[in-house]
Amino acid sequence: MKRSLSLLSIVAGLSLTLNQSLSAQEEKIANKFFYAEFLGPGLIMSANFDARFKSIERLGLGYRLGVGFAYGTFEDKQTQWGYYDSVTRTYYSIPAGLNYVFGKPNSDRTFEIGAGVTFLTRKVSLYCLNEEKPGHAIGFLTFMYRKVPVNGGFSWRIGLTPVIGTSGDLCPMGAIGFGYAF
């Protein structure tokens, strides 16, 4: 009898502990998002981290930070005849920005509006910007539709990410990203 009673109390204790941990997992809100983005502020491809400032909310004000790369044609050095050689080289980008995510609290579909700066490792003049002075930084805006499960998992985003050059020119651009929310 004592053995049955002690076994019953162990089973009851384990089930209560398991039930509490499962309900705690159900209440977990995914407000961090790691994703790979094609085009957009990283220019060709970038790996990004996105999170909300309030750790208990999945909507509202947040930030993004990434590392990307692109390639371009640059004038390398002057030849003996006075011409410049053009060389295609890779350069790196660091997109950083603030964003605000709108939506219903229990919906996996949200909308993001944001702005930021992409820092570049080379002075670059983009194909769609009419710049006389290429720069080491460009601005960007984001208007993204996001599908992020409330409790985390596979997520994606797609939308418009216009780029703003150093002379104020606006270059229309889009982006798509895939990743994991947690």
What's the CATH number where 152 sits?
2.40.160.20
Structural domain contains residue 24: no
Structural domain contains residue 52: yes
Nearest Cα residue to 37 out of 27, 28, 47: 47
Structural domain contains residue 13: no
Structural domain contains residue 140: yes
Identify the burial level of 99 via C-beta atoms within 10 angstroms of its C-beta, where 0-12 means exposed, 13-18 middle and 19 or more buried.
buried
Structural domain contains residue 134: yes
pLDDT at 118 over 80: yes
CA 3, chain centre distance (Å): 56
35-62 pLDDT, tens digit each: 999 999 998 999 999 999 998 888 999 9
- What's the structural domain count of the chain? 1
Structural domain contains residue 104: yes
Element holding 151 (H helix, E strand): none
Range of the domain at 40: 31-181
**8 Å CB contact between 180 and 148:** no
